[in-house]
Amino acid sequence: MDQLKVIRTVCLFTAHPSEHTLAQLEHLCRALAARGFVIQTHRLCSPDRNGVFALDRRTATPVLFSLGSQTFDSAQEFLAEFVAANNVHCNVDLTREQIDHRHVSLLTTLMRERPSKTFNFAYTFNPVASTPYFPSATYATDGFAIGLQPTDLSDGCQTLQAWLDRLKAVWTELDSMCSAEAGFLGIDPSIAPLGAGRGSFLHFLKRLGQDFSRSVTTDVYLRITRFLTEAAPKKVGLCGIMFACLEDFELAAEYEQGQFPIERAVFVSLHSGLGIDTYPLGVDERPERIAEVLRLVQGLSHKYHKPLSVRLVSDGNAKVGDLTHFGNAYLKDVVVRSL
């Protein structure tokens, strides 16, 4: 099973990012790799904007950086630097904002000036601390957290319970290893799919005989998220299912067939998911419509006391009805539909 133990992210949270903290992160990743884990990304999250941007400019190591949650006002201050950065992510907390066209302009500026950065950006509502997944990561205290790519562990499983049992075994192994390291914050047990085949959450459900359209009105997702919150040994962060529209390539196919419209994305996010994630956006989509969706997600986040996010992605060219050309290995190209 070792080849299936894929860690999506090892994320170090620090108030003072430096070459020393990068060395700490490298030490953690080496220790995990020595125990048979495949590590996809090394990540660092810090609210120190100057420190993060400086490291992003000068580091030769393939580290992903995050500024964590930022206010709308602060995001306006560093937007130009964010657009120019190499591997910096952030989310803008709109929990208490009166959302209008000004907030949408953050996204439309990215679409116009550097559309690839829409992948690195999200709006958040009631964000939770210490998730290692970007762009929703939020700094609260120094330490480190881990997030798996749990869909890979479903390979060869014939039942849902077999997969969940395998997840628990890996969580327990990780917890035992990481508890010996100073600053271990926990594991975010969220389901983070990627690509096709065993990396796709929908691929596994289909192997179990689940039709996607029918599955959204069954309790299968509720059962999975209940297990995540009850069985994870030291959980932290989001603890839900990422219905990442374009990162799960089989979900992207459902989107193209009209089976994952925005209202369905909102519905599954509300009961088991984490928000609207890598959802395609046409360059001709009306800003007023984007603001409507943001206000809806904000309201639902408040009503159900649930952290939610909105990550809309654009290639900067595709209009509604056009095929995207993201040039991003993590995003499936699709024909864009209207929100």
Q: What is the pLDDT of residues 269-324, one digit of tens each?
A: 998 899 999 999 999 999 999 999 999 999 999 999 999 999 999 999 999 999 99
On whether residue 305 sits in a domain, the answer given is no
**pTM (two decimals):** 0.94
Task: Please report whether residue 182 resides in a domain.
Answer: yes
Question: In this predicted model, what pLDDT tens digit does every residue of 248-277 receive, in sequence order?
Answer: 999 999 999 999 999 999 999 998 899 999
DSSP, collapsed to helix, strand or coil, labels residue 146 as strand
Q: Is 3's pLDDT higher than 70?
A: no
Is 267 within a domain?
A: no
Instruction: Domain count for the chain, please give it.
Output: 1
Q: What is the mean pLDDT of residues 63-85?
A: 96
Over residues 177-199, the mean pLDDT reads 94
Q: Note the pLDDT of residue 58.
A: 83
Quick check: is 310 in a domain?
A: no
Strands, sheet with 38-45, edge to edge from the N-terminal-most edge strand: 184-188, 143-148, 6-13, 38-45, 63-70, 88-93, 121-125, 308-313, 275-280
Residue 162: is its pLDDT beyond 60? yes
Tell me what pLDDT residue 4 has: 77
Q: Mean of the pLDDT values across residues 89-118?
A: 97
In a domain, 296, yes or no: no
18 in a structural domain: yes
Within a domain: 34: yes
CB 62 within 8 A of CB 42: yes
Would you say residue 111 lies in a domain?
yes
Over residues 119-149, the pLDDT tens digits come to 999 999 999 999 999 999 999 999 999 999 9
Full residue range of the structural domain in which residue 6 is found:
2-195+217-242
